[in-house]
Amino acid sequence: MTTLNSTESIRPRFGTLRRGPSAGRWAIGLALWALLAASSQAQWAYPPTKTVDVSDTYFGRTYRDPYRWLENLKDKDAAAWFKAQADLTDGVLAKIPGRDALVQEWTALDKLQPATYRSITYENGRVFYKKTLGGENVGKLYYRQGWSGDERLLVDPGTYKPGVTTTIQSFVPSFDGRYVAMGFTSGGAEYSEIRVLDVDQGAYLPESIYPSGGATGWTLDNKAFFYDSGKVTDTKSLDFKLNRKSRLHRLGTDFSSDADFFSNESNPELGIAPKEGPAAYIDESYPEYVFGQVSTVQNEMRIFYAPVSEMGRAPVKWDVLCQPSDNLVRGIEFHGDYVYTVTHEGAPNYRLVRTLAKHPDWRHAETVIAEARDSIQAIAKSRDFLFVTYSDGILGRVVKLDFATGKAADVALPASGIVGLRCPDWRTDRCIVSITSWTFPTTLYDYDGDTGAIAKSIFNTAVSYPGFENLVSEEVEAPGHDGVMVPLSIIHLKGLALDGNNSCILTGYGAYGISHSPSFSVLNSVALRGVVLAIAHVRGGGEKGEAWYRAGFKTTKANTWMDFISCAEYLIKRGYTSPSKLAGTGTSAGGILISRAITERPDLFASAVCNVGDANAMRLEFRPNGPLNVPEFGTVRNPVECAALYEMDGVQHVQPGSKYPALLGVGGWNDARVPAWLPGKFVAAVQNASDSGKPVLMKVNYDDGHFTEEKTVTFKNFAGQYAFMLWQTGHKDFQPPN
């Protein structure tokens, strides 16, 4: 039961509530004065924040929500509050020495690298890929006629809309390589405009549609493709991600006439929930069937299939290939009479299984490769082999399964690190292997599955960055609050003194079973300044398999931030840093981690960043993609899950009079995943509660969403975050002059 009380009472903390830009300018002037004052404990004056008398009652308990009004980003008062906070924060960050130097440093390092390649796809002799040159802001689409053919520029998104920085969010070539269904977006928005490019003519077909999640696959005749669609066009609407449809578009027709091919409306007999996203596609390597997959954030797959001959029927008569109770995860591949996939049924680290494709029986599926000590991350197939990629969270390996003999063997790799493997052309055994680590730039290798030969790829991206040879990475384990050992990665300069005087940035995530795996980034150059970078591999991630994930999930979610706290204590105890030098940060679902870590143990941290973070867990299901995330976090409509959501909620745990660390909330104005009000409400609560005298600021990126490909936006965004944390941890390069 929910009861809402909406009587408003305006209670600004400082002065009289003022509306509009004048309040922002008044607050900015006072705050900048405080920044320039000699005393670091000077009281900050923020744009006034009203409170309202709103509460929810669930299962006999009432939860106050005085900042509920900030959730309506279209409301002029809410928009003005965010703008005033953004102006204040932009002014403060601009005064921190070292911020702009970081942007310049990362830009210079980025220019050193050769081209990076993404989404390499092979269709009918043509190789398509996105390539981003060193120093280039966004990637362009290229293709080659054959692997060794001349490279040809296909699409430069910079010319798509004059005056607008556009990115290619997705591209799906037709099976004959003649057309490419492309998704264009800008400003970090996750939904795109679909256009179709004729490769031979180098021209777009006239039809287009917006907004869409993109194309999901072509029909075998190359005259139509499936794509995501919805009735609601307002991407910030609470209904936008509900009741989505997979439509079929035929080239040369208007999108408005497209058929609803697969959805809860066209297929009510399948019981597709409004929150489940449907996607139809055809696997060209197994062309007898058309597939329909519905998904939320739940890892366990739910897939239907039907003979391609059914495509002429309305509606299609679907059969069940697998359902969530089958516990199938991390990919599915077909070969011959069998369908191969991965399961955690009776195997927390996963095992490879198979069953007959035409008569699947997952209860009695055959184990092809048994569970190992490390965890299966993905599977990929070539003509003759199935490749299984493993990881222990830090190091990866690949196992090759011979379809003909059933024998499996490890693939000899040229370097150690996290490994990825793709086989763009299923008609051959040619594959591409990627290897990276915290200090080893991502390198691509061409791999011949038949001969085992592996060599630097024609798409190789290896490069040496000056100074990075002086960095080392350590892999340790910190004792958790309950005795469980928590993996912790530590990156720092060689010979670093463990005297507690080092600024340290500790980050964590811990959700969806996603591993925070090692990856190289030019942003790690901050460690060359003597900064310790640490990554806590907390429960809720996938570093130690399914059991590790489930140990930081819903009712066990507290382990996520408690593991983070344990890693912070380890770093302090071992002398890497001290509480006055330690910063913590969490992004997206990591907002739960960081908001609860600093409300649980504010004494451990000098500063924190909640970057596009889920800091208000009890309100997660009331954002546009909230229903899709209920399987991960829970719902307030269930008494047990409601109690767990309260424990996850940073806003609910802010206590007046507490000495909270300096806090920077970051929101993307175009973010459909984590609207700016989620970190914004946390900032508002801490501003009105903290007695530490440390700054509590809200950064709003009006040119960004949850993330963006644009390097200019990304570098400036993270330079601001790093500068804020290093300022508050006392790093000499980031202290404003008195």
Q: Is a pLDDT exceeding 90 seen at residue 709?
A: no
H or E stretch covering 725: helix 711-728
Highest mean pLDDT among 17-21, 231-235, 298-302, 708-712: 298-302
Q: Is a pLDDT exceeding 90 seen at residue 238?
A: no
| 690 alpha carbon, distance to own chain's centre | 30
Instruction: Count other Cβ atoms within 10 Å, centred on residue 641.
Output: 16
Predicted pLDDT of residue 236 = 83
How confident is the model over 555-581, as pLDDT tens digits? 999 999 999 999 999 999 999 999 999
CA distance 57 to 4: 8
Predicted pLDDT of residue 8 = 32
Which residues contact residue 149 at a Cβ distance below 8 angstroms, ignoring those fewer than 6 apart? 127
More confident residue, 28 or 596: 596
* Residues facing 319 on adjacent strands: 305
DSSP label at residue 482: T
CA distances to 252, 367, 590, 631 from 320, in Å:
33, 21, 35, 21
How confident is the model over 599-643, as pLDDT tens digits? 999 999 999 999 999 999 999 999 999 999 999 999 999 999 999
CA distance 207 to 199: 16
Angle between helices 711-728 and 99-112 (to 10 degrees): 140
Q: Is a pLDDT exceeding 60 seen at residue 31?
A: no
From the list 408, 467, 402, the residue with the least C-alpha distance to 439 is 467
Strands 140-145 and 151-155: antiparallel
CA distance 566 to 571: 9
How confident is the model over 59-89, as pLDDT tens digits? 999 999 999 999 999 999 999 999 999 999 9
Predicted pLDDT of residue 79 = 98
What average pLDDT does this structure show over 215-239? 94
DSSP label at residue 541: B
CA distance 530 to 492: 7
Give the pLDDT band of residue 36 (cuts 50, 70, 90): very low
Predicted pLDDT of residue 48 = 95
Give the tokens for residue 666.
């970051």
Give the pLDDT band of residue 14 (cuts 50, 70, 90): very low
Predicted pLDDT of residue 707 = 84
User: SS3 string of 160-176?
Assistant: CCCCCCEEEEEEEECCC
What average pLDDT does this structure show over 137-151? 96
Q: Is a pLDDT exceeding 60 seen at residue 302?
A: yes
CATH entry, 99-107+467-732, from 3.90.1150.10, 3.40.50.1820, 3.40.50.720, 3.40.50.12160: 3.40.50.1820
CA distance 263 to 279: 8
From the list 390, 433, 427, 391, the residue with the least C-alpha distance to 414 is 433
Q: Is a pLDDT exceeding 60 seen at residue 33?
A: no
How confident is the model over 434-450, as pLDDT tens digits? 999 998 899 999 999 99
User: SS3 string of 241-291?
Assistant: CCCCEEEEEECCCCHHHCEEEECCCCCHHHCCCCCCEEEEECCCCCCCEEE
Predicted TM-score (pTM) of the model is 0.92
Instruction: Count other Cβ atoms within 10 Å, centred on residue 670.
Output: 23
Q: Are 424 and 122 in contact (CB under 8 A)?
A: yes
Predicted pLDDT of residue 38 = 31
Average pLDDT in the chain: 93
What average pLDDT does this structure show over 461-467? 81
Give the pLDDT band of residue 594 (cuts 50, 70, 90): very high
Give the tokens for residue 354.
């198979």
Q: Is a pLDDT exceeding 90 seen at residue 32?
A: no
DSSP string, 102-144: HHHHHHHHHHHS--EEEEEEEETTEEEEEEE-TT-SS-EEEEE
Predicted pLDDT of residue 167 = 96
Give the tokens for residue 379.
């599977």
CA distance 10 to 53: 9
Q: Is a pLDDT exceeding 50 seen at residue 16?
A: no
228 phi and psi angles, rounded to 5 deg: -80, 140
Q: Is a pLDDT exceeding 70 seen at residue 275?
A: yes
Residue with the two structure tokens 């060689």: 494
Give the pLDDT band of residue 462 (cuts 50, 70, 90): low
Q: Is a pLDDT exceeding 50 seen at residue 15?
A: no
Q: Is a pLDDT exceeding 70 seen at residue 2?
A: no
DSSP label at residue 13: S
Angle between helices 711-728 and 76-94 (to 10 degrees): 70
DSSP string, 166-214: EEEEEEEE-TTSSEEEEEEEETT-S-EEEEEEETTTTEEEEEEEEEES-
DSSP label at residue 525: G
Predicted pLDDT of residue 3 = 36
Q: Is a pLDDT exceeding 90 seen at residue 13?
A: no
CA distances to 97, 248, 709 from 531, in Å:
16, 52, 26
CA distance 242 to 232: 9
Which residues contact residue 76 at a Cβ distance below 8 angstroms, ignoring those fewer than 6 apart? none
Task: Return the minimum-mean-pLDDT range out of 14-18, 434-438, 513-517, 649-653.
Answer: 14-18
How confident is the model over 350-381, as pLDDT tens digits? 999 999 999 999 999 999 999 999 999 999 99
How confident is the model over 665-683, as pLDDT tens digits? 999 999 989 999 999 999 9
With pLDDT > 70 as the criterion, what percentage of the chain qualifies? Answer: 94
With pLDDT > 90 as the criterion, what percentage of the chain qualifies? Answer: 88
Predicted pLDDT of residue 337 = 97
Predicted pLDDT of residue 43 = 62
Give the pLDDT band of residue 461 (cuts 50, 70, 90): low
More confident residue, 707 or 117: 117
Angle between helices 590-600 and 677-687 (to 10 degrees): 10
Predicted pLDDT of residue 21 = 35
Residue 469: helix, strand or coil by DSSP? Answer: helix
CA distance 47 to 80: 10
What average pLDDT does this structure show over 130-158? 96
Give the pLDDT band of residue 457 (cuts 50, 70, 90): very high
Is the torsion defined by CA of 433, 291, 190, 256 positive or negative? positive
Angle between helices 21-36 and 76-94 (to 10 degrees): 30
Residue 366: helix, strand or coil by DSSP? Answer: strand
